[in-house]
Amino acid sequence: MKQKGLKMPIIFNAAFRQFHLLNNKISYIMHIMENGQLEHLYFGKCVCPEADFSYLAERGHRDMQACPLPDQPYFSPEHIRQEYPCFGYGDMRMPAFEIERENGSRVVDFKYVGHRIYHGKKPLDPLPGVYCEPGDDVETLEITLTDEQIHTDIILYYTIFESAAALIRHAEFSCHGEERISVETAMSFGLDLPDMDYEMIDLAGSWSRERHIRRHSLDYGIQSVYSLRGSCSSHQFNPFIALARRDTGENSGEVIGMSLLYSGDFLAQAEVDNFGVTRVTMGIHPQEFSWTLYSGEKFVTPEAVIVYSDKGIGEMSSTYHWLYRNRLARGMWRDRERPILINNWEATYFSFNEESLLKIARKAADIGIELFVLDDGWFGHRNDSKSSLGDWYVNKEKLQGGLKGFAEKINSLGMGFGIWIEPEMVSEDSDLYRKHPDWVLGDKRRILSKARNQYVLDFSRPEVVDEVYRQLADTFRGLPITYIKWDHNRSMSEVFSAGGNREYQGTVRHRFILGMYSLYAKMTAAFPDILFESCASGGARFDPGMLYYAPQAWCSDNTDAIERIRIQYGTSLVYPLSSIGSHVSAVPNEQIKRITPLRTRAAVAYFGTFGYEQDLTKASEEELAEMKLQISFMKKYRNLIQKGTFCRLISPFEKDGNIAAWEVISEDGKEVLAAYFRILQKPEAPYTRLRLAGLEEKETYLCQEVNNCCEADAEAEKIYRSGSELMNIGLIMSDESSGCKGVAAQVQGDFLARMFLLKKQSPDAE
């Protein structure tokens, strides 16, 4: 990723009052208009730094409805590509921010008063943010806009890395006057693009069907994705959209990705006006949001990462993967290979005791598993979902030796010990609820919904967060815990905080997220050696905000291999494989009862963090032997998988969705691991090829099939092909049904997975 670039990533041209943020991949240009406001001029592939770009400010006579400034008929805010648009000032499109004064007026006028350019990037405390490390060439621009009547500043932040085609933005509101102001909308950025010739790509779904790729042409009006679930970014939509040109594919064409570092209510929308201008805004959802600022107070929006690629969606993903893996995820586990784990949830649910768990653990240790994760049900008197959330002390009826005794037994088998928590929730049947019934979020004069038999704790209140932290820290301190799965299993509804007045209520949902982040910050500081995996009923919080605290996330409760192909394929649009929690479960699958081969389940789960989630005491000797080979395979290749460059090759969201393929190229480019999945075998099927990507055209590669998707070292036919052949002609994947004779039985049938290992190596090297 590191490349030699231009030495001046941010230029201020004082003569033309223009800002140009650039590296050798992108340019972002804006200027200060004659009225002191900012106008966006260009975002895209890098252009000549010296030029004057004033000509991009198109002005002209506008229609009868325009509201130009007095005596300036050609200055109509509605027809200007605004940098951070407000509402109520001649621009009738959706704004990036809205401020209400004490008298109810929402008319504002923020003008440029100054800027700062500096090396590096400040932390965004109390929110997650991309960071830089010593040696990174990173510059930040802060532009201050002021509305003198209300004595309020907005600071717009822009950070650019020399080596990444990404711009990191957020905004900060601060009030200095006697008059209090109320921030009613505070998006992280606005981006006005000059045309609408784009398709919007987003990640949509539901529980058990997260992050499926959708792509549709932009149309006039508003198209958006959002979460209004309060405490999570949701199963339904991910805080990400991309705008791609119509002909943009994986390896060619222009695309702009926009991703929000936030785990709660968000809105990402593209509005196309009657001139075909596309305005994108992204940030905290304005619904239910209202934040009053008194003199000396400020409000900071979450950060957004905007990525540009002119080499297709694949390169956009690589930029996100690099940034999120190396400059968003933190801590000791950021760069470490992730342990292969066994999780007891689908094996036992709530009914277990020490011996039944140890039986599974012994089998796991025998086949080389490195970490035993004790899921829900170990605390209070929790034997089903109806009790004990909030009481984070061990249930000694189930674990007689306590957590310490049990963890030591796991350690003596040669495995690490991990544990499940759901700290933001409380059960009605819990000591915590009995002691603090007003700590629940909700208007108690109304009916409170009880999703999954539980309530959401009022994490907007620091004393609630402190108590949960105290309990968790007391219980875990001194224990040999190396992993925590942090769950969150219900959305917010009937939101009301007993801890605040009327003004406070509009802040509760965001304060909740800040409270949750603060608990993560405390826990990761107190337990720096623990690997955190976030989870929210499967994948409802798979967002970059969480990755700042937990470098991996449970991708979906759906562990069926075929469903997971689509879920993981979609997830990979933004998120690196090192963040994708993926397990091999038993068949028939718990969620959709499908029966798939063990090799296919492993072949999908390898492309993530990898583990097992099933009762190994019920597995046959043959299955255990196969799992043992899978585990050694993963140990050998996880470095490549978790740190290499991921390329999507065939999309399960295109054509009839029957085939999917992807590959990972090792960091040094010498090895490639490719996987090909065919969901159903079809009669008289078309001839099929698997064309690889990202290879060196003139290099020769030794290409071998991975026997049974787990025996990398087994004798397999050796094929030598040039990179250009592999990328342009591809490997033949046709099966017997298309008339190809002599196809091995193991590549026949439904739910097929095949894997190939490529090594840069010529036949003479043998």
DSSP states along 612-645: EES-GGGS-HHHHHHHHHHHHHHHHHHHHHHHSE
Q: Strand 138-147 to strand 719-722: parallel, antiparallel, or no bridges (unpaired)?
A: unpaired
DSSP H stretches of helix in 419-507: 431-435, 462-476, 502-505
Cβ atoms of 727 and 695 closer than 8 Å: yes
CA atoms of 664 and 638, how far apart (whole Å) = 11
Shortest spacing between CB 474 and ligand GLA, in angstroms: 22
Shortest spacing between CB 413 and ligand GLA, in angstroms: 22
Q: With binding defined as CB under 6 A, does residue 557 bind ligand GLA?
A: yes
Residue 417 vs 646, nearer CB to ligand GLA = 417
Residue 376 vs 663, nearer CB to ligand GLA = 376
Shortest spacing between CB 452 and ligand GLA, in angstroms: 8
Mark residues 527-556: x for contact with ligand GLA by CB under 6 A, - for none: --------x-xx---------------x--
Shortest spacing between CB 526 and ligand GLA, in angstroms: 22
Which residue is catalytic, options 137, 487, 543, 735? 487
Residues 317-356 that bind ligand GLA (CB under 6 A): 345
Of 117, 147, 176, nearest in space to 35 by CA: 147
Q: With binding defined as CB under 6 A, does residue 424 bind ligand GLA?
A: no
Is the link from the previous residue into 588 a cis peptide, with omega within 30 of 0? yes
Cβ atoms of 271 and 241 closer than 8 Å: no
Whether 557 sits among the annotated catalytic residues: the reply is yes
Cα atoms in the 13 Å half-sphere on the side-chain side of 415: 29
Mark residues 16-55: x for contact with ligand GLA by CB under 6 A, - for none: ----------------------------------------
Which residue is catalytic, options 137, 557, 560, 735? 557
Residue 75 vs 486, nearer CB to ligand GLA = 486
Residue whose beta carbon is closest to ligand GLA: 376
DSSP lists the bridge partners of residue 671 as 759
CA atoms of 718 and 699, how far apart (whole Å) = 16
Q: With binding defined as CB under 6 A, does residue 210 bind ligand GLA?
A: no
Residue 539 vs 576, nearer CB to ligand GLA = 539
Residue 320 vs 554, nearer CB to ligand GLA = 554
Residue 558 vs 666, nearer CB to ligand GLA = 558
Shortest spacing between CB 209 and ligand GLA, in angstroms: 14
Whether 384 sits among the annotated catalytic residues: the reply is no
Task: Pick the binder of ligand GLA from 420, 439, 483, 756 (CB under 6 A).
Answer: 420
Q: With binding defined as CB under 6 A, does residue 375 bind ligand GLA?
A: yes
Q: How many residues bind ligand GLA (CB under 6 A)?
A: 11
Of 550, 616, 556, 621, nearest in space to 586 by CA: 616
Shortest spacing between CB 373 and ligand GLA, in angstroms: 9
Residues 269-308 that bind ligand GLA (CB under 6 A): none
Shortest spacing between CB 343 and ligand GLA, in angstroms: 7
Shortest spacing between CB 613 and ligand GLA, in angstroms: 8
Task: Pick the binder of ligand GLA from 162, 184, 487, 543 (CB under 6 A).
Answer: 487
CA atoms of 156 and 151, how far apart (whole Å) = 16
Of 297, 201, 218, 302, nearest in space to 255 by CA: 201
Q: In a 10 Å sphere around its CB, with 0-12 CB exposed, 13-18 middle and 19+ buried, how is residue 707 labelled?
A: middle
Q: With binding defined as CB under 6 A, does residue 192 bind ligand GLA?
A: no
* Amino acid at residue number 601: R
Q: What b/e string do you get for 134-167 counting C-beta neighbours within 10 Å, with b at 16 or more?
A: eebbbbbbbbbbbbeebebbbbbbbbbbbbbbbb
Task: Pick the binder of ligand GLA from 263, 475, 489, 534 (CB under 6 A).
Answer: 489
How is residue 339 annotated by DSSP? P
Of 693, 602, 605, nearest in space to 642 by CA: 605
Active site residue ranges: 487, 557
For ligand GLA, the binding residues (CB under 6 A) are 345, 375-376, 420, 487, 489, 535, 537-538, 554, 557
